[in-house]
């Protein structure tokens, strides 16, 4: 596993936990929410560099996307 893939996996794991805690989602719902989001598409695209940001930063993008239906 590359360093980049590891970082993406760690951020993804932490975001799923945050979705479960803050939105009361079950794990399957949190995973589906993350994996179908534009935020996740950008997170896994190494060219964007989003994977180098903190979990809180990426979660902020996802929260905005969930609230408005679009990326910031």
The pLDDT assigned to 72 comes to 56
- The whole-angstrom separation of Cα 42 and Cα 60 is 13
How many of the other CB atoms lie within 10 Å of CB of 56?
A: 11
Q: Which of 15, 4, 3 is nearest to 66 (CA)?
A: 15
pLDDT digits (tens, 9 = 90+) for 33-69: 999 999 999 999 999 999 999 999 999 999 999 999 8
Average pLDDT over residues 1-18: 97
The pLDDT assigned to 70 comes to 75
Average pLDDT over residues 11-38: 97
The pLDDT assigned to 55 comes to 98
Query: Residue 40: which region, alpha, beta or left (left: phi > 0; alpha: psi -120 to 50)?
Result: alpha
Looking from the CA of 26 toward its CB, the CA atoms found within 13 Å total 1
The pLDDT assigned to 48 comes to 96
């Amino acid at each position: 596993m590359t360093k980049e893939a590891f970082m993406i996996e760690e951020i993804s794991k932490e975001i799923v936990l945050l979705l479960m805690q803050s939105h009361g989602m079950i794990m399957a719902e949190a995973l589906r929410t993350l994996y179908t989001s534009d935020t996740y598409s950008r997170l896994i695209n190494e060219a964007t560099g989003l994977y180098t940001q903190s979990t809180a930063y990426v979660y902020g993008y996802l929260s905005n996307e969930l609230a408005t239906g679009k990326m910031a």
